[in-house]
Amino acid sequence: MIWVLLSLIAAYLLGSIPTAVWIGKVYYGLDIREHGSKNAGATNTFRVLGKKPGITVLLIDVLKGVSATLIPVLVLQNNPEELLVKVQIGSAFLAVIGHLLPVFAGFRGGKGVATSLGVVIGIVPLAAAVSMIIFLLVFISSRFVSLGAITAALFFPFVLKFAVGTDSVWLLSFGVVVSSMVIVAHRKNIKRLLKGEENKMNFSRK
């Protein structure tokens, strides 16, 4: 079906928008991937460029994920619900992959946390809210963004099962895969956390 294919392509292209890279180059004359942690995401943007660009990158990256999952709802609204859920999940994965490997930025992207949050908001809003609470609790107590993201990712499949109460094999599989993608993307952070070398977030900068 042509609309399914177009939805999936659109999801990848939306995810591929390298928000941090473009904002850094256009407004600050630098490639964010060459500074700080060298990650093209909101956290590194906060650290290198400050609060305003950091918040902008965060919001746009979340919106990329939300938009990717809403496109199938708009174009496939008259199709069976099972097909819609499958296409939404496929779009979610492609949006996150787009953020990790953006075609518009030489396939060097971020870690996909904000975009992952966006796709979860679009598909399972309650799970997104619970995961955000978990993230905030860990982050506020530790000041490690990475630890908050990793913890929220670890608990995400359980949130789907027990907080949302879903028995959908598709949604539970989605939860496991998204969780794994986020954790794998943070493998270097995990090593630094274990060594006590991870940097805490300092909001006093700029």
- pLDDT for position 187: 93
Give backbone dihedrals phi and psi of 108, rounded to 5 degrees, phi first. Answer: -120, 95
Compute the distance between CA of residue 53 and CA of residue 70 in angstroms, rounded to an integer. 26
Question: Are the CB atoms for 164 and 129 separated by under 8 Å?
Answer: no
pLDDT in tens, the chain (206 residues): 799 999 999 999 999 999 999 999 999 999 999 999 899 999 999 999 999 999 999 999 999 999 999 999 999 988 888 899 999 999 999 999 999 999 999 999 999 999 999 999 999 999 999 999 999 999 999 999 999 999 999 999 999 999 999 999 999 999 999 999 999 999 999 999 999 999 888 755 54
**Three-state SS string across 33-53, please?**
HHCCCCCCCHHHHHHHHCHHH
Indicate the domain borders of the chain: 2-103+111-195
CA distance linking residue 12 with residue 7, whole number of Å: 9
